[in-house]
């Protein structure tokens, strides 16, 4: 396929923007996104956007850039923090440099999600060049604290009323397909208490690990079969036992044991009900009062946006126009920041260049051609929904 001079120029612009973002470390930990938000903010200011950098807990910063007023309000959200580099020896290129090889741009965060952030920067400038939105408002969010499922990024912006979208487009790596349904996520901590004693005389103590084993058996026998029956299309309600911590030495009967559970919920399930379900199972396990504590650590509901919703259908039409066929509706395994708006009655869709399977690994990359396609698709989407004033 012949690439036009215009698309070549777009590709060069996107490459330059992504290179700038990759060069600014924003790894979690420590989650410092101040420098990258400041750099991106200069681009938005130059294009005429109203820009703020809300931050509740430094150094976790967020960037909000708005043009236009009122409804409909379309918000583009891309998280700007990344995971760490991991083993540097596993990288063939500098993780903090955008290295082009065979049409792919390599670098930490290139795929998740600085590639989408670069597309959003280009789109913001393009909207401004065309006079801004004809209707309503467009908002661009660069959020921190996503990689640790934290509350200082998009969740904070929603709580403070700093973004109030009618439609939320999250820049997840979907290979320019779409995700319109996402499972909820619940993290639960269970702690069992016992009584320490010398390992040479176990009956003198009360082993907290054995108590946890009994609870785990109950969860596996009673909860796991229930979850196996809860399905919606390809989505499944699941429970993962993620970590167990206990003990000091083999010669000490442990008096504490802590377990972490990751529950993924169907969009129609609620985190409150799911947490209560685990609480009830633990309470009914027959262990002595006060020896088992259940704590809710993180909990957000899932969401579902019908294909015929106006903004979703406009994005579908823009994708089909550019790629020549309707997008595939993907089944999400991970959780996005869209979950914070799950019960707000808005349209939520994940869309962006890059393959989610490439995320969080050495030699992460994103195809530049997908970035160009994403940029042109999102421009067409804005033209269909808000229009251009110029």
Q: Please give the full DSSP string across 70-81, using - where no structure is assigned.
A: SSSEEEEEEE--
Residue 320, domain member (yes or no): yes
Q: Are residues 235 and 374 in the same domain?
A: no
Q: Which of 300, 325, 352 is the last residue of a domain?
A: 300
Mean pLDDT, residues 60-82 taken together: 98
Q: Are residues 273 and 211 in the same domain?
A: yes
Query: In this predicted model, what pLDDT tens digit does every residue of 87-100 receive, in sequence order?
Result: 999 999 999 999 99
Band of pLDDT at residue 357, cut at 50, 70 and 90: confident
The whole-number pLDDT of residue 1 equals 52
Q: Are strands 231-232 and 235-236 parallel, antiparallel or unpaired?
A: antiparallel
* Contact (Cβ atoms closer than 8 angstroms) between residue 264 and residue 237: yes
Q: How far apart are CA 2 and CA 33, in angstroms?
A: 39
Q: Are residues 323 and 275 in the same domain?
A: no
Question: Looking up tokens 């309470």, which residue turns up?
Answer: 283
Residue 341, domain member (yes or no): yes
Q: Are residues 292 and 332 in the same domain?
A: no
Mean pLDDT, residues 18-32 taken together: 97
CATH of the domain at 70: 3.40.630.10
Q: Are residues 34 and 144 in the same domain?
A: yes
Neighbouring CB atoms inside 10 A of 295's CB total 13
The whole-number pLDDT of residue 204 equals 97
- DSSP H helices, 141-249, are 154-159, 208-218, 224-228
Residue 390, domain member (yes or no): no
Q: Are residues 139 and 13 in the same domain?
A: yes
Query: In this predicted model, what pLDDT tens digit does every residue of 363-380 receive, in sequence order?
Result: 999 999 999 999 999 999
Per-position DSSP letters for 159-186, written without gaps between them: HTTS---SEEEE---BTT-BB-EE-EEE
Q: Are residues 29 and 138 in the same domain?
A: yes
Mean pLDDT, residues 55-71 taken together: 97
Q: Are residues 169 and 189 in the same domain?
A: no
Residue 319, domain member (yes or no): yes
What domain range includes position 188? 184-300
Band of pLDDT at residue 2, cut at 50, 70 and 90: low
CATH of the domain at 196: 3.30.70.360
The whole-number pLDDT of residue 383 equals 98
Q: Are residues 347 and 288 in the same domain?
A: no
Residue 215, domain member (yes or no): yes
Mean pLDDT, residues 204-221 taken together: 97
Q: Which of 276, 300, 324 is the last residue of a domain?
A: 300
Residue 192, domain member (yes or no): yes
Residue 3 has pLDDT above 80, yes or no: no
Q: Are residues 171 and 200 in the same domain?
A: no
Task: Provide the 8-state DSSP code for 57.
Answer: B
Q: Which of 269, 300, 331 is the last residue of a domain?
A: 300
Which secondary structure element, helix H or strand E, spans residue 6, and what is its range? helix 5-22
Residue 200, domain member (yes or no): yes
Side-by-side strand order, sheet with 63-68: 50-52, 63-68, 137-143, 73-79, 167-170, 347-350
Number of structural domains the chain divides into? 2
Q: Are residues 357 and 296 in the same domain?
A: no
Q: Are residues 65 and 174 in the same domain?
A: yes
């Amino acid at each position: 396929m012949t690439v036009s001079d215009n698309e070549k120029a777009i590709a060069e612009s996107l490459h330059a923007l992504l290179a700038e973002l990759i060069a600014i470390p924003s790894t979690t930990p420590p989650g410092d996104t101040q420098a990258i938000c400041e750099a991106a903010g200069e681009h938005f200011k130059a294009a005429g956007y109203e820009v703020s950098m809300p931050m509740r807990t430094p150094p976790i910063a967020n960037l909000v850039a708005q043009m236009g007023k009122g409804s409909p309000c379309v918000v583009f959200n891309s998280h700007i923090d990344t995971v760490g580099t991991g083993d540097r020896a596993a990288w063939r290129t500098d993780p903090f440099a955008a290295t082009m090889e065979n049409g792919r741009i390599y670098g930490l965060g290139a795929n998740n999600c600085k590639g989408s952030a670069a597309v959003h920067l280009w789109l913001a400038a393009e909207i401004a060049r065309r006079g801004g939105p004809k209707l309503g408002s467009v908002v661009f969010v660069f959020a921190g604290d996503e990689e640790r499922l934290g509350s200082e990024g998009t969740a904070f912006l929603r709580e403070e009323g700093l973004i109030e979208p009618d439609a939320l487009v999250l820049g997840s790596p979907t290979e320019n397909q779409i995700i319109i349904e996402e499972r909820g996520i619940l993290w639960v901590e269970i702690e069992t208490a016992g009584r320490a004693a010398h390992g040479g005389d176990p009956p003198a103590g009360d082993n907290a690990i054995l108590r946890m084993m009994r609870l785990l058996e109950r969860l596996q026998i009673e909860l796991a079969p229930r979850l196996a029956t809860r399905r919606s299309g390809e989505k499944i309600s699941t429970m993962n036992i993620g970590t167990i911590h206990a003990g000091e030495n083999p010669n000490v009967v442990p008096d504490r044991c802590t377990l972490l559970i990751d529950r993924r919920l169907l969009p129609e399930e609620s985190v409150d009900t799911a947490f209560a379900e685990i609480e009830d199972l633990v309470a009914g396990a027959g262990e002595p009062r006060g020896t088992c504590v259940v704590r809710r650590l993180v909990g957000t509901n899932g969401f579902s946006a019908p294909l015929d919703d106006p903004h979703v259908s406009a994005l579908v039409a823009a994708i089909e126009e550019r790629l020549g066929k309707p997008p595939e509706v993907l089944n999400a395994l991970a959780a996005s920041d869209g979950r914070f708006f799950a019960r707000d009655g808005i349209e939520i869709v994940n869309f962006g260049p890059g393959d989610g399977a490439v995320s969080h690994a050495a030699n992460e990359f994103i195809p530049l051609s997908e970035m160009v396609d994403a940029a042109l698709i999102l421009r067409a989407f804005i033209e269909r929904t808000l229009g251009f004033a110029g």
